[in-house]
Amino acid sequence: MHLEAQILEMHAITNDVYSMTLQCPGVADSAQPGQFVHVAVAQPGSTDPLLRRPLSICDADRSKGTVELVFRIVGRGTRLLAGRQASERIDLMGPIGTGFRRPRPGRVPLVVAGGIGIAPLHFLCRALLSVGVSPYVIAGFSTRSDMILVDRLVRYGAKVQVITEDGSFGLAGKVTEYIERAAQEINSHSHGEVELYACGPLGMINSVREWCLETGVFGQVSLESRMACGTGACLGCVLRVITASGEERYERVCVDGPVFDVRRIVTC
Ligand SMILES: Cc1cc2nc3c(=O)[nH]c(=O)nc-3n(C[C@H](O)[C@H](O)[C@H](O)COP(=O)(O)OP(=O)(O)OC[C@H]3O[C@@H](n4cnc5c(N)ncnc54)[C@H](O)[C@@H]3O)c2cc1C
Ligand code: FES
């Protein structure tokens, strides 16, 4: 769906991460955790840059008709977006893509977030908590000042363990070093089987995938890819996957994903 939304609020969360809240009932009404919007980042009246930028839905409130995006400045498009002001209008398409499937009854969601990858997982955790499912979140950041959205998740009632690479907050190391420990803790406390949800940098996703394949734990990961159309037409975002019958084929991250069952990923 192609829409125009009004920016209600825009603020910096850290040095380079921004939160943008949009009045956009057309997206808020049907948004599912793991879906994204494709945002035109050019200044009003300009078409440069031409390509939209995909951003995950970090939160959506159906009753207010609002959607929140949380993004890190990495290049020209996100820098332009960070310069937009409340009350301006913005052009977007969405919600797009196949989001996360809810865990099966009795399973405990273990949510593994790496850096800005926590954005779609925030929406997932909110949705799970609203139906009485408590996720166990392990969230990794480079350092304490990069930490985002953790306070909010704790406030909503999620159990969150922070891991920083430099040890400046929480446990020290990489988030993937703590997956096994978190799974064991879940098993010993709730006796429930774990289902894993993850979003983060490629190296983290590869480690998560290996852990899931070794342990047999069911996992869903949200993947990133450079995107052009965002509608499934250009094939610019394809990824090799394995089908139920064992054959390999290409699927589009924008519409067949961005969330994939880890067992289906061949290369990422
Ligand atoms: C489905 C999806 C959801 C996303 N959700 C979020 C989100 O919630 N918050 C957020 O901050 N970012 C998110 N991203 C990443 C975001 O789309 C890119 O950071 C953004 O498009 C960069 O645009 P730019 O013009 O600022 O950078 P560019 O100038 O286009 O690129 C700057 C640098 O970033 C790298 N890069 C750009 N886009 C991507 C990409 N898609 N994957 C990997 N590397 C890339 C480039 O290779 C380059 O090194 C998401 C991406 C996808 C595919
Ligand atoms: S971005 Fe065009 S097919 Fe996915």
In the chain, where the domains are located: 2-96, 108-222
User: What superfamily would CATH give domain 2-96?
Assistant: Translation factors (2.40.30.10)
- Looking at CATH, the fold of the domain delimited by 108-222 is given as Rossmann fold (3.40.50)
18 phi and psi angles, rounded to 5 deg: -120, 150
Place 246 in a pLDDT band, splitting at 50, 70 and 90: confident
pLDDT in tens, 163-221: 999 999 999 999 999 999 999 998 887 767 899 999 999 999 999 999 999 999 999 99
pTM of the predicted structure, to 2 decimals: 0.95
Residue 53 Cβ < 6 Å to ligand 1: yes
Please report the atom of ligand 1 found closest to the CA of residue 237.
53
Q: Where are the beta strands (DSSP E) in the chain?
A: 2-12, 17-23, 36-39, 53-56, 59-61, 66-72, 89-96, 108-114, 136-141, 159-164, 171-172, 194-199, 218-222, 238-242, 248-252, 259-261
The per-residue pLDDT for 89 is: 95
Q: pLDDT at residue 267 above 70?
A: no
Q: Which ligand is nearest to the CA of 97?
A: 1
Closest C-alpha among 96, 7, 93, 79 to residue 42:
79
Question: To test the ligand 2 pocket, which listed residue (93, 226, 235, 239) has its Cβ within 8 A of the most ligand atoms?
Answer: 235
CB atoms within 10 A of CB 63: 7
The per-residue pLDDT for 243 is: 85
Question: To test the ligand 2 pocket, which listed residue (51, 96, 254) has its Cβ within 8 A of the most ligand atoms?
Answer: 254
Residues with CB under 6 A from ligand 2: 227-230, 232-237, 252, 254
The per-residue pLDDT for 191 is: 65
Q: 69 vs 8, 10, 11, 92, 144, CA distance in Å?
A: 12, 10, 11, 12, 21
Residue ranges of alpha helices (H) inside the chain are 25-28, 76-82, 118-130, 150-156, 179-190, 202-215
Q: Which ligand is nearest to the CA of 50?
A: 1
Overall average pLDDT of the 102-109 stretch = 92
Task: Compute the half-sphere exposure of residue 205: CA atoms within 13 Å on the CB side of its CA.
Answer: 22
